[in-house]
Amino acid sequence: MEYMILLYSDESARPDFAPGTPEFESMMSDWMTFNQELIDSGNFVTGGSLAPSSSATMLHKSFDGSTSTVDGPYAETKEQIGGYYLVRANDLDHALEIAKRIPIPAGSFEVRPIDFRPDA
């Protein structure tokens, strides 16, 4: 099974450490360790972090084929998507275990099975 794990967190509360500071190095090392473990165990398919939601653009498409483009995410929510992982896992419990180990200090993870992927 493959699962998409979407990482939601409050952007205003995300750590904002300057590169080179010990806090930044420690945070990066947590992420590197986690990613490497995921790759080594064969559970990693892909993943990445997103630029802040202020850089997002929403494109809406209607049934009649018309489109409109607006600034920002469509809903004002406290937590925004900040990154994602696509993982291979035995079952939901396994995927949830992986999600629990993701080193973000606070946030929510949406864990959803992949139904179909043309390149898989």
Partner 1 sequence: MATEPDVDDALTQLARNDAGRVVAIVARRFGDLDLAEDAVQDALVEAGERWPTTGVPDNQAAWLHQVARRKAIDRLRRADAAVRRERRARDGRDGDGEAADPMPLLTDRGLDPGDERLRLILLCCHPALDPDTQVALTLRLVGGLTTDEIAAAFLVPTSTLAQRISRAKRKIRDAAIPLSLPDRLEERLGVVLDTLYLIFNEGYLSRGANAPATRVDLCAEAIRLTDVVVGLSDRRPEACGLLALMGFVHARRDARVVDGSLVLLDQQDRTRWHVDEVHRANSLLHEAMTARRPGPFQLQAIIAAHHANAREPDDTDWGRINALYEQLAQMRPSPVVEVNRAVAVTMVNGPTAGLQVLDEIDGLDQYHLFHATRSELLRRAGRVEEAEAARMTAHALATNPAERRLLARRPVR
* Interface residue list for partner 1 (CB under 8 A): 1, 90-94, 96, 111-113, 115
Q: Which is nearer to partner 1, 56 or 114 (CB)?
A: 114
Burial letters 102-111, b for 16+ CB under 10 A, else e: bebeebebeb
Least gap, CB of 103 to partner 1 (angstroms): 20
Q: Which is nearer to partner 1, 89 or 102 (CB)?
A: 89
Alpha-carbon gap, residue 109 to 101, rounded angstroms: 11
Q: Which is nearer to partner 1, 78 or 117 (CB)?
A: 117
23's CB contacts (< 8 A; 6+ apart) are: 15, 17
Q: Which two tokens stand for residue 6?
A: 């979407």
Please, is 79 exposed, middle or buried when counting C-beta atoms within 10 Å of its C-beta (0-12, 13-18, 19+)? middle
Q: Which is nearer to partner 1, 25 or 91 (CB)?
A: 91
Least gap, CB of 28 to partner 1 (angstroms): 29
Least gap, CB of 110 to partner 1 (angstroms): 12
Q: Which two tokens stand for residue 108?
A: 């929510």
